[in-house]
C-alpha cells in the first residue's frame, strides 16, 4: 500500500476516533439530564449501530475469501439489535450480555484475517463505541451515579490525548511498517481507559 493511501487511512481512523468522543459525550450529557428514559435511548443507540452494521455488510460482498461465517455473525447481531424494548434492568442486562458475546465473535473473526482487519478498522472503532454506550446506559438503568460526570470527563480527556498522540505517531510515518496490528491494539487500549470511567468502582 502506497504512502498516500496510508495517510488517508490514518486520517479516516483519527476522524472516526474524534467522532466517537463527541458521540459518547452527547450520550453522557443526555443521560445526565435525564432527557429520555434509558430504554428509549437504548433503542436509539441500537438502531444507529444496526444501520452501521448494515452498511458494513455491503463491504464484504466484494471479498472472495470465505467469510460466510462473518456474514452469519453480522446477521445474528442485527437480529439481536432489533429485539424488543428492554423495559427492565434485567432484560437490558440479558440483551447486553448476548450482544457482547456476538460482537466478541465478530471482532475475533475480523482481527484474525488481515484483509478484513484493515477493511474493518472503522467498524472496530464503532463496535468499541457501542460497548461504551452500553456501559453509559447501564449506569442509567442502575440509577444515576453522582460521580459519573467527573469520571467521564477524565476518560474523555485521556481519550482525546490518545488521539493527539496517535496522530503524531502514525500521521507522518513514511515507512511501510505502519504495524497495523500494533495500532489496532493501541486503539483498543484507549477504549479500555474510556470504559473504566463507567465500570463499577
Tell me the range of 18-22, 101-105, 118-122, 169-173 where mean pLDDT is highest. Answer: 101-105
Residue 181, pLDDT score? 66
Give the pLDDT band of residue 52 (cuts 50, 70, 90).
confident
The overall average pLDDT reported for the chain is 80
Which is more confident, 172 or 134? 134
Task: Please check the confidence at residue 158 and state whether its pLDDT lies above 60.
Answer: yes
Q: What is the pLDDT of residue 201?
A: 35
**DSSP-H helix ranges across the chain:** 3-33, 38-60, 68-81, 89-111, 114-119, 121-141, 148-171, 180-196
Per-residue pLDDT, 1: 44
Least confident of 84-88, 134-138, 183-187: 183-187
CB 100 within 8 A of CB 90: no
Angle between helices 121-141 and 180-196 (to 10 degrees): 10
pTM, two decimals, is: 0.80
Decide if pLDDT at 2 tops 70.
Answer: no
Whether the Cβ atoms of residue 166 and residue 20 lie closer than 8 Å to each other: no
Average pLDDT over residues 36-60: 84
Question: Residue written as cell 497495523?
Answer: 180
Is pLDDT above 90 for 155? no
Q: What is the tens place of the pLDDT at every residue in 59-114?
A: 666 665 556 778 888 889 999 999 888 888 899 999 999 999 999 998 888 888 77
In percent, how much of the chain has pLDDT > 70? 81
Give 25: exposed, middle or buried? Use CB within 10 Å, 0-12, 13-18, 19+. middle
Amino acid at each position: 500500500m502506497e504512502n498516500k493511501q496510508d495517510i488517508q487511512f490514518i486520517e479516516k481512523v483519527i476522524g472516526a476516533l474524534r467522532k466517537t468522543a463527541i458521540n459518547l459525550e452527547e450520550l453522557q450529557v443526555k443521560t445526565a439530564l435525564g432527557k429520555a428514559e434509558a430504554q428509549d435511548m437504548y433503542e436509539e443507540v441500537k438502531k444507529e449501530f444496526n444501520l452501521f452494521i448494515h452498511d458494513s455488510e455491503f463491504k464484504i460482498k466484494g471479498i472472495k475469501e470465505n467469510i460466510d461465517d462473518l456474514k452469519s455473525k453480522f446477521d445474528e447481531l442485527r437480529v439481536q439489535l432489533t429485539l424488543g424494548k428492554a423495559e427492565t434492568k434485567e432484560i437490558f442486562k440479558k440483551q447486553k450480555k448476548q450482544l457482547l458475546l456476538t460482537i466478541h465473535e465478530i471482532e475475533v473473526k475480523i482481527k484474525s484475517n488481515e484483509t478484513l482487519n484493515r477493511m474493518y478498522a472503522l467498524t472496530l472503532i464503532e463496535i468499541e463505541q457501542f460497548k461504551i454506550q452500553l456501559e453509559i446506559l447501564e449506569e442509567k438503568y442502575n440509577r444515576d451515579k453522582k460521580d459519573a460526570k467527573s469520571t467521564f470527563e477524565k476518560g474523555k480527556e485521556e481519550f482525546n490525548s490518545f488521539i493527539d498522540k496517535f496522530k503524531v505517531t502514525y500521521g507522518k510515518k513514511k515507512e511501510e511498517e505502519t504495524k497495523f496490528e500494533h495500532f489496532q491494539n493501541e486503539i483498543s487500549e484507549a477504549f479500555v481507559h474510556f470504559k473504566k470511567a463507567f465500570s463499577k468502582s
